[in-house]
Structure 1
Amino acid sequence: MFEYKLEEKKSRFAVYYENDEIGEVSFVKTGEHLLIIDHTYVDPKWKGHSIGNELVQKVVDFAIANNRKIIPLCPFAKKVFERTPAYSAVYSK
């Protein structure tokens, strides 16, 4: 089972499997109402498990809880936003 952890001081969510870090998404807080997703990474041996999508979802949930919008500069995150209509409420283009 995957474990997702917010590391707010590092501005990232990390994902672990059996205590090994296997991926992350990092973001930058800009002002009081904006987040920028600048990087998403998943260990290549874990590709195809929707981990990247889950990491982006964690940032979306964080943005909603903190009344923020998101600019997805990371190419992967941008693709996820473009194909997920439910994210339009937090998408700042």
Structure 2
Amino acid sequence: MFDYRLEEDASRFAVFYENEEIGEISFVKTGEHLLIIDHTYVDAKWKGHAIGNALVQKVVDFAVADNRKIIPLCPFAKKVFDRTPEYEAVYSK
């Protein structure tokens, strides 16, 4: 249904539905072991489909694979991190 794509050169994951971009999450790699989530966006008509949560999960999986901790500066991502105990291992407070 949804197609999540890593655009590493743009430091983001984008999500598409029927080839239309409907959301994104962007991040910045800082040093060798840190990643900062700085922006999350989901088109208003797609809110309530857990797309934002899935985008955060994509970045978490990416950070784990790259041996990085995450600082969620984006308010949405911070809320997700604060309510998801499983992210504690990658959360850099």
For structure 2, list consecutive stretches of 5 or more residues without a partner in the other structure.
Answer: none
2:80 match: secondary structure? helix
Question: What's the CA shift for 1:92?
Answer: 0.1
- 1:10-49 to structure 2, matched below 5 A, reads 10-49=10-49
For structure 1, list consecutive stretches of 5 or more residues without a partner in the other structure.
Answer: none
Question: What's the CA shift for 1:86?
Answer: 0.1
Runs of 4+ in 1 over 6 A off after TM superposition: none
CA distance in 2, matches of 1:89, 1:20: 34
- 1:78-93 to structure 2, matched below 5 A, reads 78-93=78-93
1:16 match: secondary structure? strand
Residues 16-74 of structure 1 show CA distances to partners (whole Å, capped at 9, x for unaligned) of: 00000000000000000000000000000000000000000000000000000000000
Question: What's the CA shift for 1:10?
Answer: 0.2
CA distance in 2, matches of 1:5, 1:38: 18
What's 1:71 paired with?
71
What's 2:54 paired with?
54
1:56 match: secondary structure? helix
Give me the CA root mean square deviation: 0.2
Question: What's the CA shift for 1:84?
Answer: 0.2
2:53 match: secondary structure? helix
* Matched residue count: 93
